[in-house]
Amino acid sequence: MKGLIKIEYKKKLLGFIIKSSFKKEGIEFLTPYVFSQQLAFMRRPKGYVITPHKHLLLLRKIRDTQETLFIRKGKVRIDFYWNNRHYLESRIVQKGDVVFLASGGHGFECIKDSEIIEVKQGPFSIKTQPKRLKCIAKNKLRMK
């Protein structure tokens, strides 16, 4: 799909970028149904009604922390890593783009003053805080 960039390694989805130019009629669920975080794109005409609803309580077991980033302002470089700290590639995102991070590691550099909204599973625990990876040297970046 035009405007949807998937980042994969060894047939595993690390994440995807929904560019601000992405368009699709109706509703499109972008994440597989088995993911603990669901992300969909909706385009509806004026007057379309989403029937009021309430989600039922459901005990869930969450193994991976997945996150979604909304770039409200600025320009950001995202570096993608495989689980063993192996650097893979980098991408640029900017105002209006949305990033879904499913697995692997990631790092960021704000190229311009930026505002980012992050959504991920909680609660945050000091016992399970992220494992820090070594930043990739700028002369070794692989921009895509």
pLDDT digit string, tens, across residues 105-144: 999 999 999 999 999 887 766 666 666 677 787 888 888 8
Calculate mean pLDDT across residues 74-80: 97
Confidence band, pLDDT 50/70/90 cuts, at residue 63: confident
Report the C-alpha gap between 71 and 118 in whole angstroms.
9
What residue has token string 């029937």? 51
Average pLDDT taken over every residue of the chain? 90
The Cα 76–Cα 108 span in angstroms is 7
Domain segments of the chain: what residues? 4-32+62-140
pLDDT of residue 127: 64
Is the pLDDT at 50 greater than 70, yes or no? yes
The alpha carbon dihedral of 78, 84, 85, 88 has a sign of negative
